[in-house]
Amino acid sequence: MSIGSRHPLHIAYIIFCYKIYSAGDCHPEGLFKTKKRGYDEKMKNERLLLSAVLVTAIIIGACNNNNSGSVGETENLDKNASYALGLSIGAGYRENLISGGIIPNNDEFIKGIRDGFSGGNARFDMYEAEEIINAAFYTLFEEKNARLMQEEIDFLAGNAKKPGIKITPSGLQYEILIETDGRKPSFNDRVQVHYEGRLTDGKSIGSTYDYGEPAAFALNQVMPGWSEGLQLMSVGSRYRFFIPSEIGYGAGGEGPIPPYSTLIFTVDLLEIY
């Protein structure tokens, strides 16, 4: 079957990254904005990392597609440099695909690269290939999400049984570390806070103590869990929030925050504007 008119790099883009969430803190100004992304937008972002490996792999794969051992142009790399480049591509392929949860059949993967670069007969045209890739990625996405959802359910159920944990109707869990009397902020107020945020595995997702200054924001511009929790506090108090993904970043996650993540924040309310 002829590959068709769709450019092979379009397929490279489709596969272009199943592993986008990398380590790193969120800046206080952007951490609390409400963003819930569905499957389509998430998968679009997740394709961006693997593409660099695959685009190069498509080019290098052509070296095995003709008798000369070259891609059809005059070679300008010697044997050692060519091998080193191939070695680098192979290492990148392993790191980005396998660690990202994509484990293809290696023989079929290489065959697809060669057929795609040759521009001749192939098992599928590019439109069919895109549909197959999307279906496979969707299955992986759903399987991964099912596991993450159950992990969150288990964590929240266990945490709810701990002494001192209170639960609101929305599912927000919190504990009072320091309680004070006084005014509490309303939904339309601005506040200034210090905070330290972590995932349930202990990984840091940001700390104003590390940034060296508190964060200030309006409660009507942050994720629902933050807005609700801070309205429970008075100036000078310190609470610890356990924010379920349903009132956090949901199924899409955000930056270093995976989908279906319960967020743990220790918060000092400093001022209400």
Task: For residues 177 and 204, state if they share a domain.
Answer: yes
Asked if residue 43 and residue 93 are part of one domain, the reply reads yes
pLDDT band at 174 (very low <50, low <70, confident <90, very high): very high
Whether residue 65 is contained in a domain is answered as yes
Q: How many domains does the chain have?
A: 2
Is the per-residue pLDDT at 67 higher than 60? no
Highest mean pLDDT among 78-87, 186-195, 202-211, 244-253: 186-195
Residues 93 and 222 in one domain: no
Domain termination residue (choose one: 118, 148, 178): 148
Q: Is the pLDDT of residue 64 over 70?
A: no
Please tell me the distance from the alpha carbon of residue 187 to that of residue 99, in angstroms, as a whole number: 42
Tokens for 211?
């940034």
Q: How many residues does the chain have?
A: 273
Which of 107, 129, 148 is the endpoint of a domain? 148
Say if 141 falls within a structural domain: yes
Q: What percent of the chain has pLDDT over 90?
A: 42
Measured distance CA(113)–CA(135) in Å, rounded: 19
Owning domain of residue 172? 150-272
User: Higher pLDDT residue, 34 or 85?
Assistant: 85
Question: Do 183 and 137 sit in the same domain of this protein?
Answer: no
Examine the domain organization and report whether 35 and 143 are in the same domain: yes
The residue with tokens 């597609």 is 65
pLDDT at res. 99: 67
Is 87 a member of any domain?
yes
How confident is residue 9, by pLDDT bands cut at 50, 70 and 90?
A: very low
Cβ contacts of 128-137, under 8 Å, gap ≥ 24: 129/11, 130/6, 130/10, 130/11, 130/14, 133/11, 133/14, 133/15, 134/14, 134/43, 137/18, 137/43
* 161 and 144 inside one domain: no
Contact 243, 265 (CB under 8 A): yes
| For residue 149, pLDDT beyond 50 | yes
Provide the pLDDT confidence category of residue 85 given band limits of 50, 70 and 90: confident
Mind listing the pLDDT tens digit for each residue in 175-223?
Answer: 999 999 989 999 999 999 999 999 999 999 999 988 889 999 999 999 9
Both 112 and 52 in one domain: the answer is: yes
How high does pLDDT run on average in the chain?
78
Q: What is the DSSP letter of 262?
A: P
Q: How many CA atoms lie within 13 A of 50 on its CB side?
A: 26
Cα–Cα distance for residue pair 97/209, rounded to 1 Å = 36
Residue with tokens 């999307």: 134
Indicate the residue among 148, 174, 200 that finishes a domain.
148
Do 144 and 154 belong together in one domain?
no
List the CATH number of the domain containing 241.
3.10.50.40
